[in-house]
Amino acid sequence: MNRLTSMTVSVLSALLRAKEISSVELTNAFLHRIASHDTEIGAYLTVCAEDALRTAKQIDDRRMGGEVLPALAGIPMALKDNLCTKGIRTTCASKILSSYIPPYNATVYERLRQNGAVLLGKLNMDEFAMGSSTENSAYHLTRNPHDTEYVPGGSSGGSAAAVAANEAAYTLGTDTGGSVRLPASFCGAVGIKPTYGRVSRYGLIAYACSFDQIGVLTKDVRDNALVLQAIAGKDEKDATASLAPVADYGAELGAECCRLRIGVPKEIDLQCHSEEVGQAFQRALFQLEQLGAQLVELPNGIDQNALQAYYILVLAEASCNLARYDGVRYGDRAAHAEDLQSMYAQTRAEGFGDEVKRRILLGTYLLETSQKQRYYDKALCVRQQIKQLFADSFSVCDLIVTPTSPCTAYRFGEKNTDPLQMYHVDRFTVPASLANVPALSVPCGVSAKGLPIGLQLIAPAFREGLLYRIAYAYEQECCHGDI
């Protein structure tokens, strides 16, 4: 049973097609794994055992009836709890949505269902995706499967931990400023944030609309390409979903990497908080050269003022997006309010956690007329400059490489007394988010304590295939996929 849960999607798909295993057998294996391990890991907020087994049985019946099914058919997976699932509680890890049951499915889930995916359940996260460690969930902590004293990263901590702990074959997360890539790095998974618009956001509960993007977390690069292929593409329900055709990502795996020019921001390894991360990064650069890539130094870096601009814009957008949770339209209402105004204030004060309240209040402040020019307008300018910096960089290189995070996973409580210190963990991931370009984290080493280290690859818009090409070659050559 445990052997099955540790296999990749590609291997499981082959076994299912050959009818060597059934989807019911596979789903049961994952449900047993969740039952035996998730009390310790805490990746799940909701487990849908009955629904999962019912879907698995339907897939098995179709296969036994001779139907040729897609590669993902019958494979158990799980979704971050900010993706709407019809009839299944969707909380965003917040008390204010503790009883919210969506009447419709997110487009990504609908597409996976059409591909025969089996939904095991909904995964823990930082409340409304606000955090980098999953310590901000209103329900419980999620622990890093590599060492349960350490955080799994965030905000898609449940999504990364479920993959690393073999509690799902693959998962979806969401990435606003690094929320797929960072937990992928901390848990030794492969995580991609696609280009803004590559994947429909319909049914994703909004945090910061101009940044939010749904991403994929898997055990290896091949699986990641397979799942992104299934969910990418235009969607009439999302006006920001691109009409650009989706490339054949599978065709990029194994393609030649010789002569690819890889940009390295100047002195980026010196910005790492951990010497081990800097060393792993230098080793990865050497390995990329061995693969035939040509390294190009980017003297201007990619992150000038990025972290400040990112937090200003994200907080401003969040303060607007979360205004809708008022106890009237959504969520649990405060029981003993005296009037409408106090009902709003009490509902929101009781329903939101501290980090969410802090961000809403600061976001509101940044949008006040007296402050807007000083902060918000300037941050928009910086965002435009960063987009230009990426455009300039991509005129001299094909890809950009950085560490995913300046540090490895840290202990619970180590950074949450100082939010600003926590925000600095995002410093390498936010530039790609500001520029709306795709980025992928692939494992590139392990610290002395056994904690995974991630390498981030960044490509021009809609060049996810290029990310997969180099990440696959790197993974095959350097064997970090089995961390």
Partner 1 sequence: MDEHTPDFDKLAKLANIDPANTDGRLSQYFDAMLRFFDGMDAVGRNAPEDFDVALPMREDTVRAETTREELLCGAKTVADGCITVPLVMEDL
Query: Of the listed pieces 229-237, 259-267, 288-296, 474-482, which binds partner 1 according to CB under 8 A?
Result: 229-237
Helical packing angle, 464-478 and 275-290, nearest 10°: 100
Write out the binding residues for partner 1, residues 113-152 only, by CB under 8 A.
none
Active-site residue identified among 10, 22, 179, 319:
179
Count, residues in the chain: 483
Which of 11, 14, 320, 446 touches partner 1 by CB under 8 A? 320
Is residue 106 part of the contact set for partner 1 (CB under 8 A)?
yes
Is residue 384 part of the contact set for partner 1 (CB under 8 A)?
yes
3-state secondary structure of 79: strand
What does the per-residue mask of binding to partner 1 show for 29-68, with x meaning CB under 8 A? ----------------------------------------
Instruction: Assess whether 155 carries a catalytic annotation.
Output: yes
Write out the binding residues for partner 1, residues 407-446 only, by CB under 8 A.
418-420, 436
Alpha-carbon distance 302 to 387, whole Å? Answer: 9
Is residue 98 part of the contact set for partner 1 (CB under 8 A)?
no
Which of 143, 383, 415, 469 touches partner 1 by CB under 8 A? 383
| Nearest-approach distance from CB 363 to partner 1, in angstroms | 8
Alpha-carbon distance 457 to 432, whole Å? Answer: 10
Is residue 109 part of the contact set for partner 1 (CB under 8 A)?
no
Is residue 461 part of the contact set for partner 1 (CB under 8 A)?
yes
Is residue 316 part of the contact set for partner 1 (CB under 8 A)?
yes
Structure tokens at 460: 């021009």
**26 and 120 Cβ atoms separated by less than 8 Å:** no
**Residue closer to partner 1 (CB basis): 12 or 214:** 214
Is residue 381 part of the contact set for partner 1 (CB under 8 A)?
yes
Alpha-carbon distance 280 to 227, whole Å? Answer: 28
Instruction: Assess whether 219 carries a catalytic annotation.
Output: no
**238 and 201 Cβ atoms separated by less than 8 Å:** yes
Instruction: Assess whether 393 carries a catalytic annotation.
Output: no
Is residue 326 part of the contact set for partner 1 (CB under 8 A)?
yes
Is residue 476 part of the contact set for partner 1 (CB under 8 A)?
no
| Nearest-approach distance from CB 268 to partner 1, in angstroms | 18
DSSP 8-state code for residue 142: -
Which of 58, 98, 210, 271 touches partner 1 by CB under 8 A? 210
Query: Of the listed pieces 112-120, 223-231, 373-381, 443-451, which binds partner 1 according to CB under 8 A?
Result: 373-381
Which of 44, 128, 186, 202 touches partner 1 by CB under 8 A? 202
Residue ranges of alpha helices (H) inside 153-234 are: 157-164, 181-187, 221-231
**465 and 398 Cβ atoms separated by less than 8 Å:** no
Alpha-carbon distance 272 to 454, whole Å? Answer: 12
Which of 238, 276, 332, 414 touches partner 1 by CB under 8 A? 238
Residues sharing a CB contact under 8 Å with residue 118, sequence separation 6 or more, in sequence order = 23, 27, 52, 55, 56, 59, 74, 75, 76, 77
| Nearest-approach distance from CB 77 to partner 1, in angstroms | 20
* Helix (H) or strand (E) run with residue 214 in it: strand 213-218
| Nearest-approach distance from CB 151 to partner 1, in angstroms | 19
Is residue 385 part of the contact set for partner 1 (CB under 8 A)?
yes
Write out the binding residues for partner 1, residues 257-286 only, by CB under 8 A.
none
Which of 128, 170, 196, 468 touches partner 1 by CB under 8 A? 196
Alpha-carbon distance 269 to 274, whole Å? Answer: 9
Active-site residue identified among 10, 22, 23, 80:
80
3-state secondary structure of 399: strand
Instruction: Match 């060393």 to its residue by tokens.
Output: 279
Alpha-carbon distance 224 to 37, whole Å? Answer: 24
Is residue 330 part of the contact set for partner 1 (CB under 8 A)?
yes
Residues sharing a CB contact under 8 Å with residue 54, sequence separation 6 or more, in sequence order = none
**445 and 438 Cβ atoms separated by less than 8 Å:** no
Is residue 226 part of the contact set for partner 1 (CB under 8 A)?
no
Alpha-carbon distance 134 to 140, whole Å? Answer: 9
* Residues linked to residue 80 through DSSP beta bridges, in sequence order: 123
Alpha-carbon distance 112 to 117, whole Å? Answer: 5
| Nearest-approach distance from CB 432 to partner 1, in angstroms | 15
| Nearest-approach distance from CB 451 to partner 1, in angstroms | 27
- Geometric angle at alpha carbon 129, from 123 and 134, rounded to 5°: 60
**Residue closer to partner 1 (CB basis): 324 or 449:** 324
**Residue closer to partner 1 (CB basis): 42 or 203:** 203
3-state secondary structure of 346: helix
Active-site residue identified among 155, 319, 433, 441:
155
**Residue closer to partner 1 (CB basis): 91 or 405:** 91
Q: Which residues are catalytic?
A: 80, 155, 179
